[in-house]
């Protein structure tokens, strides 16, 4: 089985001491491609270097809402110049649950990145924690836009709206929690053609690794859980999710 981790942060400082070993463990587990989104300008150069050295890493560049105090207008001017070889804009988005910055400030950076993505025909990787109605409203301003809401935790109605807009939904370690009944119901209901699997490593570890650093190798456990929920064999689901990632990111 060869899988694509559609969202992980292999550029994170927590992988600096053993990144090669993490990638090797993932490969041994059957995970051999990684979409890695940077979250602020200070990390763009590092990700460029890592991606140049590791062909299995597909970079994306963005401005995450958690780091609004780091973003500068010059970032939006520089971003289009980094996009050769990038598979997406992001991670970008809105967050009213964990983010300390007000919505207007977040919207400024989100709107700027949606515009750049539309202009360059690139998908967006969206963080939308407790702000999906606002995310959906902004996406509707760009009918040609495509992308994924990663680590989806919204309602079935929000899922349906995003899928109608052509977006994919990404699911990670939280789906392995038996208590995540709402997410499980969404996973079971959405078209499998709009489903992506991700780890969000080094965060959001699956249940069996709770409290430990997450790794792309654990994507196998997420695949197995979703396969059980969908009543489909894991290899068939892997092929579908790989195809979905390939189509969205043009891998």
Q: pLDDT digit string (tens) for 43-85?
A: 999 999 999 999 999 999 999 999 999 999 999 999 999 999 9
Structural domains in the chain plus CATH codes: 4-249 (3.20.20.140)
pLDDT digits (tens, 9 = 90+) for 199-227: 999 999 999 999 999 999 999 999 999 99
Angstrom distance (rounded) from CA 28 to CA 225: 20
Q: Please tell me the total number of residues recorded for the chain in this structure.
A: 251
pLDDT digits (tens, 9 = 90+) for 13-47: 999 999 999 999 999 999 999 999 999 999 999 99
Q: Give the mean pLDDT of 178-192.
A: 96
| Alpha helices, DSSP H, located in 79-172 | 103-119, 132-139, 156-164
Q: Please name the helix (run of DSSP H) or strand (run of DSSP E) that holds residue 212, with its range, or none.
A: none
pLDDT digits (tens, 9 = 90+) for 142-171: 999 999 999 999 999 999 999 999 999 999
Name every residue whose Cβ is closer than 8 Å to that of residue 7 and which is 6 or more positions away in sequence. Answer: 35, 37, 91, 125, 148, 150, 151, 170, 172, 196, 198, 199, 200
Angstrom distance (rounded) from CA 139 to CA 168: 13
Residue list, annotated binding site for a divalent metal cation: 7, 9, 91, 127, 150, 200
pLDDT digits (tens, 9 = 90+) for 126-148: 999 999 999 999 999 999 999 99
Contact at 8 Å (CB) between 151 and 7? yes
Q: Give the mean pLDDT of 168-193.
A: 96
pLDDT digits (tens, 9 = 90+) for 79-121: 999 999 999 999 999 999 999 999 999 999 999 999 999 999 9
Name every residue whose Cβ is closer than 8 Å to that of residue 241 and which is 6 or more positions away in sequence. Answer: 3, 4, 6, 195, 196, 197, 223
- Beta pairing partners, 61: 89
pLDDT given for residue 1 in this prediction: 74
Structure-block tokens of residue 110: 């989100």
Residue list, annotated binding site: 7, 9, 91, 127, 150, 200
């Amino acid at each position: 089985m060869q899988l694509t981790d559609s969202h992980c942060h292999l550029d994170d400082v927590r992988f600096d001491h053993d990144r090669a070993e993490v990638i090797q463990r993932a490969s041994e587990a059957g995970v051999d491609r990684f979409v890695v989104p940077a979250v602020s300008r200070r990390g763009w150069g590092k990700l460029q270097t890592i991606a140049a050295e590791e062909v299995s890493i597909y970079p994306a560049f963005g401005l995450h809402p958690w780091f609004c105090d780091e973003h500068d207008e010059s970032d939006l001017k520089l971003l289009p110049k980094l996009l050769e070889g990038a598979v997406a804009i992001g991670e970008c988005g809105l967050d009213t649950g964990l983010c300390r910055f007000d919505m207007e400030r977040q919207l400024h950076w989100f709107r700027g990145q949606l515009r750049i993505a539309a202009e360059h025909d690139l998908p967006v990787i969206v963080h939308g924690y407790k702000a999906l109605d606002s995310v959906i409203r902004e996406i509707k301003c760009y009918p040609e836009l495509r992308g994924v809401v990663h680590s989806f935790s919204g309602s079935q109605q929000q899922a349906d709206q995003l899928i109608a807009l052509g977006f994919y939904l990404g699911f990670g370690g939280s789906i392995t929690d038996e208590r995540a009944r709402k997410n499980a119901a969404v996973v079971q209901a959405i078209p499998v053609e709009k489903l992506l699997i991700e780890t969000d490593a080094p965060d959001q570890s699956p249940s069996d690794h709770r409290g430990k650093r997450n790794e792309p190798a654990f994507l196998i456990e997420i695949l197995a859980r979703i396969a059980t929920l969908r009543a489909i064999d894991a290899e068939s689901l892997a092929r579908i999710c790989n195809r979905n990632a390939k189509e969205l990111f043009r891998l």
